[in-house]
Structure 1
Amino acid sequence: MTRSVLRYVKHRITQQPDTDVTFDAECLTYDCDWQATPSEDGAAVDVECMSHTGRTGHGGFRRTCTSFALVVRNE
């Protein structure tokens, strides 16, 4: 019989240093290829979505927030 020793190491996840969060959005209306300009300012993307709604009447959007993560051991 083989015995094993298990060691558990705690980790944490943080945002990668020297990187920014990027916000983006795209219209969900069928046959509409509109996309907001990616930005580090989420409010600017929201304004673009509202402007698109005002011009087209399209009200559904997929908003994404992208960041880079780093997993490190707790010390």
Structure 2
Amino acid sequence: MTRAVYRFVDHTIRHEPAGGIVAELFCMTYGCDKSSGAQGNAEDAQDWALRHTGLNPGHELYRREFSDHARVTRAGQEPAALISRSSHDCGGAAR
């Protein structure tokens, strides 16, 4: 018989500033499939939407999507250095 010992440890999850934020706006006008594309800051995506509406009166509704990076750390430990996705194996976790 095999025995196992489980140790439960508190963790926290926080925004990782080094990973940045990605913003993208999508025009929701029926038949329009235009988007700002992924932008490294929200202002560039918003500027695109303002230009798009200026060129296409009536295109006034947009869906905004934001994504960022998050870091999980054990309670009481310092966060590890930022590791790029290509140089780190997630151990089979879904991406």
Question: What TM-score do the two structures reach when normalised by structure 1?
Answer: 0.77
Matched, 1:63 2:61: no
In structure 2, the residue matched to 1:3 is: none
Structure 2: runs of 5 or more not aligned: 1-6, 77-95
Query: More strand per residue: 1 or 2?
Result: 1
Structure 1: runs of 5 or more not aligned: 1-6
Provide the rounded CA distance (Å) in 2 between the counterparts of 1:70 and 1:44: 26
Sequence identity (%)? 29
Question: What TM-score do the two structures reach when normalised by structure 2?
Answer: 0.63
Q: Please tell me the root mean square deviation across aligned C-alpha atoms, in Å.
A: 2.0
